[in-house]
């Protein structure tokens, strides 16, 4: 197994562990919404500390349900991942193209062994 394959396997294992461990360990079982976002957690903490707190701003769009909010968040994450994958793929393709161009130029510039006449 190559070094890159080992690194990829370890990264995949780490991601799987991060996704599965909170479920297996029962983190959040004592909460009504165990995996609510950080915004909801912050709002709860603020209202416990200061019940009369009034937010300075309100959201531009408030989704009608938590499922739609989650779907929009997943869409945003997918679009971001797609943009990053495109960027890194483009960079890799350019680098490989440059390496091929250098190899072709070096091959063209190298002296060739030609049989000598007479």
**pLDDT tens-digit series, residues 11-63:** 999 999 998 888 888 776 777 766 667 777 788 889 899 989 888 888 888 88
Tell me the pLDDT band of 118, cut-offs 50, 70 and 90: low
Closest-CA residue to 27 (of 47, 41, 12, 46): 41
User: What is the reported pLDDT for 8?
Assistant: 94
For 17-43, b/e burial (b = at least 16 CB within 10 A) is eeeeeeeeeeeeeeeeeeeeeeeeeee
- Record the pTM: 0.53
């Amino acid at each position: 197994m190559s070094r890159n394959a080992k690194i990829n396997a370890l990264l995949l294992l780490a991601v799987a562990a991060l996704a599965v461990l909170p479920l297996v360990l029962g983190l959040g079982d004592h909460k009504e919404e165990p995996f609510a976002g950080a915004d909801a957690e912050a709002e709860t903490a603020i209202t416990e500390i200061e019940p009369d707190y009034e937010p300075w701003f309100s959201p531009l769009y408030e989704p009608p349900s938590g499922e739609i909010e989650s779907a929009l968040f997943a869409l945003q994450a997918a679009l971001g991942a797609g943009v990053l994958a495109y960027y890194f793929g483009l960079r890799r393709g350019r680098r490989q193209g440059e390496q091929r161009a250098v190899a072709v130029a070096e091959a063209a510039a190298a002296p060739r062994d030609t049989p000598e006449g007479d």
